[in-house]
């Protein structure tokens, strides 16, 4: 028997490589054909924030999913009832019908459709989400990869394994909660005295304000860096309309984050803003640019300015007033559902005041909340903690004005911001 060595092995090895390559190409083609034959998964994204809804939808579409969108639970329920939805991914805090209620209804009527809940509010955890009928819970912020893996897991479990997946996540949630309780008991000492082994004392009010101010200072710097980077990317990507659109979405998100930070500082009463002469018409126009992308596509937003309002000046801080006007307009947009929604923003003047009115054709303010929402932050199930109107009124009163809410006689909500003209303060 002759044993082949050296160069004589080369032809045999080459043939093996060719055959392996042929088999690999054949398998790739088979996989491609199977993917073409397999229908795309139809994912419903339910989210009231337009920018986030679009971002999630675009990512899922790039991953090969067919995506439908809804801006609240009521719209989401109608989409599912229309048929052909394979999986639902929904936020919890939404107007009209929140994500928890939507999940409960879907679990009752369509138990074979998996629902993935997510939220950025600390009051919501995995256990109540799973108990409502969801198969998984994501805590914002979550990565695109994490969301995709969860969607794929839900789709894979749809063939008879949804209840197993739900129970698995519930068990994991309970285990984490037990671990938190165990660690809490260890820290509290043998007699349950939470101060016995506490490494740090709770912060007093003054120290809490100092911490908020320090964090705010750091975040402002980060926002500035992000803004500079986005502007540079937009310049470098002049030939890509898609990249420019993404840059604009990032820029708006940074502006929204600044407003949220300003809201925090106003609430804890730190970082007092510098007062200056401000045109409320300019503020309203800036608020429109920020609010319009977050308002549903079937809702119109219009602005009317009376003849003298363009020259009327108030004394305040432009960023703080932008926070107020944006909050009012954004709240109006969240209250509207269905087609034909409208928001009318008006700016008018009297001899002593400048008025900004925001009127919508939605359901109006609930009678039991119309007074409370201006007196204190109001918590509602599935909609989080409402502090916007409460803070807006406090800011208006600090500036010598006021903010009122009412239900218009012809229907819908009406919010009025009144501020003294600067000339009445000896400035204009």
Sign of CA dihedral 143, 248, 392, 263: positive
Same domain as 398, residue 328: yes
CB atoms within 10 A of CB 217: 10
Q: Is the distance from CB of 150 to CB of 138 less than 8 angstroms? A: yes
Final residue of a structural domain among 268, 285, 300: 268
Same-domain status, 291 and 381: yes
Judged by DSSP in three states, 150 sits in helix
DSSP class of residue 133 equals T
Residue 217 near residue 265, CB atoms below 8 Å: no
Dist. CA 145–CA 165, nearest whole Å = 19
Cβ proximity of 152 and 159 under 8 Å: no
- Looking up residue 54, the CATH number of its domain turns out to be 3.40.50.2300
Q: Single out the residue of 43, 105, 50 nearest to residue 73, CA to CA.
A: 105
Shared domain for 169 and 67, answered yes or no, is yes
What spatial distance separates the first Cα and last Cα of the chain, rounded to whole Å? 109
**How is residue 421 annotated by DSSP?**
B
User: Residue 426: what pLDDT?
Assistant: 57
Check whether residue 419 and residue 296 sit in a common domain: yes
Same domain, 162 and 136: yes
pLDDT of residue 207: 63
My answer on whether 229 and 282 are in the same domain is: no
The residue among 77, 97, 71 whose CA lies nearest residue 380 is: 97
The range of the structural domain enclosing residue 263 comes to 205-268
d(CA 334, CA 332): 5
**Residue 187 maps to a domain:** no
pLDDT value at position 260?
76
Residues 310 and 385 in one domain: yes
Query: 252 with 211: CB under 8 angstroms?
Result: no
Q: Is residue 107 located within the same domain as residue 168?
A: yes
Q: Which residues of the chain have pLDDT under 70?
A: 1-39, 121-125, 159-211, 213-218, 220-221, 267-273, 296-297, 337-339, 368-372, 376-387, 424-428
Q: How high is the pLDDT of residue 182? A: 60
Q: What angle do CA 96, 72, 326 make, to 5 degrees?
A: 80
Q: What is the pLDDT of residues 202-227, one digit of tens each?
A: 546 666 666 676 666 667 667 777 77
Q: What is the pTM of this model?
A: 0.56
237 and 281 share one domain: no
pLDDT at 401: 92
- Show which of 250, 268, 286 is a domain's final residue: 268
248 and 282 both lie in a single domain:
no
79-119 pLDDT per residue, tens = 999 988 999 999 988 878 889 999 999 988 988 899 999 98
In this prediction, residue 66 carries a pLDDT of 92
Say what the pLDDT of residue 76 is: 93
Tell me, yes or no, whether 20 lies in a domain.
no
Residues 242 and 364 in one domain: no
Indicate whether 65 belongs to any domain: yes
> What pLDDT, on the 0 to 100 scale, is given for residue 68?
94
* Number of domains comprising the chain: 3
- The answer on 245 and 141 residing in a single domain is no
- Classify residue 197: in a domain, yes or no: no
């Amino acid at each position: 028997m002759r044993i082949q060595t050296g160069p004589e092995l080369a032809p045999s090895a080459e043939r093996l490589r060719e055959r392996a390559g042929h088999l690999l190409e054949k398998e790739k083609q088979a996989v491609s054909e199977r993917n073409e034959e397999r229908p795309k998964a139809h994912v419903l994204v339910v989210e009231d924030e337009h920018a986030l809804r679009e971002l999630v939808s675009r990512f899922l579409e790039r991953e090969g999913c067919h995506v439908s969108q809804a801006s609240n639970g009521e719209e989401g329920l109608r989409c599912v009832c229309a048929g052909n939805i394979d999986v639902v991914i929904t936020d919890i805090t939404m107007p009209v019908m929140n994500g928890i209620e939507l999940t409960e209804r879907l679990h009752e009527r369509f138990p074979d459709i998996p629902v993935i809940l997510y939220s950025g509010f600390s009051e919501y955890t995995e256990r109540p989400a799973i108990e409502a009928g969801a198969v998984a819970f994501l805590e914002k912020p979550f990565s695109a990869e994490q969301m995709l893996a969860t969607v794929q897991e839900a789709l894979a479990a749809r063939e008879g394994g949804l209840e197993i997946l739900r129970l698995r996540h519930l068990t994991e949630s309970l285990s984490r909660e037990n671990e938190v309780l165990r660690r809490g008991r260890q820290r509290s000492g043998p007699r349950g005295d939470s101060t016995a082994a506490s490494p740090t004392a709770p912060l007093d009010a003054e120290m809490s304000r100092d911490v908020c101010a320090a964090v705010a200072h750091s975040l402002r710097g980060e926002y500035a860096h992000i803004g500079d980077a986005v502007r540079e990317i937009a310049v470098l990507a002049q030939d890509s309309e898609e990249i420019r659109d993404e840059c604009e979405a990032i820029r708006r998100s940074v502006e929204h984050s600044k407003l949220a930070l300003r809201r925090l500082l106003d609430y804890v009463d730190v970082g007092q803003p510098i007062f200056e002469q401000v045109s409320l018409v300019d503020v309203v126009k800036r608020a429109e640019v920020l609010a319009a992308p977050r308002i549903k596509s079937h809702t119109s937003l219009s602005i009317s300015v009376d003849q003298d309002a363009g020259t009327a000046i108030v004394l305040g801080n432009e960023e703080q007033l932008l926070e107020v006007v944006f909050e009012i307009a954004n709240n109006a947009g969240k209250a509207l559902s269905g087609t034909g929604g409208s928001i009318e923003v008006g700016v008018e003047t009297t001899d002593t005041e400048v008025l900004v009115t925001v009127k919508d054709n939605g359901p109006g303010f609930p009678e039991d909340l119309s007074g409370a929402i201006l007196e204190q932050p109001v918590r509602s199930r599935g909609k989080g903690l409402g502090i916007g109107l409460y803070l807006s009124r406090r800011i208006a009163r600090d500036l010598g004005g006021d903010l009122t809410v009412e239900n218009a006689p012809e229907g819908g909500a009406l919010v009025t911001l009144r501020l003294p003209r600067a000339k009445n303060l000896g400035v204009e």
